[in-house]
A and B are shown apart, each in its own frame.
Chain A
Amino acid sequence: MRDVAVIGVGMIQFGRRDEDTLMDMLAYASLKALDDAGLGDGTVDAVYVGNMAAGMLQHQSAVASSLVDRLSLLPAAADVVENGPASGGSAVKNGLLAVASGYYDTVLVTGGEKMREVTGWRATDIVATMTHPEAEYPYGITLPGMAGMFTRLYMEKYGVTREMLVAVALKNQEIGALNPYAHVEMALDKNGIFNSPHSIVNNPMAADPLHLYDACPVSDGAAAIVITALDKIKNPAKAPVLIAGFGQATDTQTLQERDDPTDLKAVTLAAQQAFERAKMKPSDIHVAELHDAFTILEIAESEHVGFFKKGEGGKAALDGKTRLGGQIPINVSGGLKARGHPVGGTGVAQICDLTWQLRHELPKERQVKNAKTGLSVNFGGFGNNVLAFVLRRVDS
């Protein structure tokens, strides 16, 4: 197997993009990544597109074929990868394996979703189609509902408090406000969402015990990366970022079938595989992008990947250990919470943000000093299909 590196990244601002079609967004992000890679002529062997719901949202299929044609990348191979909110991560994995195997040399991986075309209710319903078709979905379960129940259990078992969840929301929106690609460009105030009596309206209950600002927004957006074999890179203009390891694991689709619903086994296994392949351990990681679709998930994932012991992630967030400058900066992009969550695009966006970190290209208020290694976790379903990637900066 060959070493594979990221040589180009591109993203468009997430948010509500009424003026753009899904294809516009995928194309913009792809062109940025191709330019960043110095592939203005668009020479790639294959294109993988992470997308969850174009069929339901846009009544559109075969998105990858459409993108290749639109970008004049013919006759590159093209595939859509659908894996719920982990579609982006799965697309990256497919591209990685294709290059690592030697079958292709250079691959474009693009992920995106246009979710604001429908109401929030309908978007929530569409996302809920990833739940069990007989045991969960027909009974009206939604992802916020699942996250609420998960949070309640986590609070009871590990003593996570609302203040700890609020700490994650404050941290991610504070730094997300500095990210020009973020959907939510607004820092929050603890009084405004937690301490004052006015917070009951500002931050209403969404799915007990989760409140509005515990959840990520529903976003339009796209991101793209270009990867190639490390040994093919000659005199790079920018430091290549090696995909040093990846892991993927699944778990039962229904939460109630798990021995302990608070145990996100697929996160643990995916991270362990990624660390093992990268020959690294959690303490070697300098910056992480974790899938904080809900604040509780950042806390739980920070424990399951091994940054903190079980039950200590919430306190770590409260104590500032996950902030920029802390023990392990998490979601310095603002995470899903602030950058947004166009479901099929998130896994790719995480790799973009880590690449910028490892290339030291971000302004100092968001740059992890001397960052050389990064971890991403892209969480599908409610932890029933998870991908983890370990990235490492390659210095010449």
Chain B
Amino acid sequence: MPIDLELEQVLRPPQIPMVPYPPKVITLANGNKMVVRQALREEVPMILKGVEPCLWIERDYYDIVSARLYGELLAWYRHRVKSEYCLIGQIDGYLVGAVNGRLENEKVGMSYHTLAIDRGLRIGSHLFAAKMEYHLEYLKQEEVLIVAESPIGFRRWMIEYPLEETKIPHELGGGDSWRLTREIYFKARERLVVGDRPVPPDLLAKAEDEILIVDDDIIREKIAGLKGR
């Protein structure tokens, strides 16, 4: 598709410089090692292959979350969103979850979505915590604005941290934002944010080498629990 470079300059939002998120590794309940790292823009097409099967799962609002995440990642890939980032979780190279967000400005972060592709291992909790860690510890932001689209998300974010209710609209629409301040984050950090750094070189190399995606059916089974039916 030919690009009109002058027009493209107008359409592309300006980007706030972001320090990279340092990768970490987390031992999950079943002993698997999940590498959490920042995705590169050029990795988006492969991540979308892992998100796509979730678009068709109604259970626990996976369809909404996946559809929105898909669009947000595509917007980042096509330079149509300001200061977005994506963190991913990988086990043996396989994509098991993704979270994204962006910077509203240098002080305020906007949390977008959290998608656990493998379930029952608190992968969503770990990845959401990594997202908050990025905003508050590495990007040094003052606060992050958050909404939940599923009851599970509400329980995990609003109650477990617990977040502060606000009347500030969130750019995803829906309910008003809840706020994670530095004070709340650092109070909750000890019980919610874990991970070892540096990631052993072999684990990191495996993760960075290629994002592997399991079969669509397996993704649907892991999320919707269709085994044995």
Contacts and interface: CB of A to CB of B under 8 A. Distances in A.
Contacts of B187: none
B228 interface: yes
B27 A191 contact: yes
Nearest to B31: A189
B141 interface: no
Report whether over half of chain A's contact residues are helix, strand or loop; otherwise say mixed: loop
Contacts of A213: 29
A185 B221 CA distance: 12
Shortest 10 CB-CB distances between A and B: which pairs? Answer: A189-B31, A13-B228, A202-B29, A192-B29, A198-B194, A198-B27, A196-B27, A192-B31, A201-B194, A193-B29
Kindly state the interface size class of chain B when it binds its partner: 20 to 34
Interface string B4-34: 0000000000000000000000111111100
Interface residues of A, number: 28
A201 B31 contact: no
B198 interface: no
A197 interface: yes
A381 to B, nearest CB: 27
Interface of A: 13, 15-19, 119, 180-181, 184-189, 191-193, 196-204, 213
B28 A202 contact: yes
Contact of B229 (A19, A191, A198, A202): A19
B191 A200 contact: yes
B218 interface: no
B227 interface: yes
B126 A187 contact: no
Interface string B212-229: 000000000000110111
Given A15-B228, A188-B31, 15 more contacts: A13-B229, A15-B225, A185-B227, A188-B29, A188-B30, A189-B28, A189-B29, A191-B27, A192-B29, A198-B28, A199-B27, A200-B191, A201-B192, A202-B27, A213-B29
> Interface centre among B30, B32, B196, B229, by most A CB within 10 Å?
B30
A200 B194 contact: yes
Nearest to A205: B191
A396 to B, nearest CB: 33
B181 interface: no
Interface in B48-70: 59
B2 interface: no
A184 B120 contact: yes
B129 interface: yes
A192 B28 contact: yes
B122 A18 contact: no
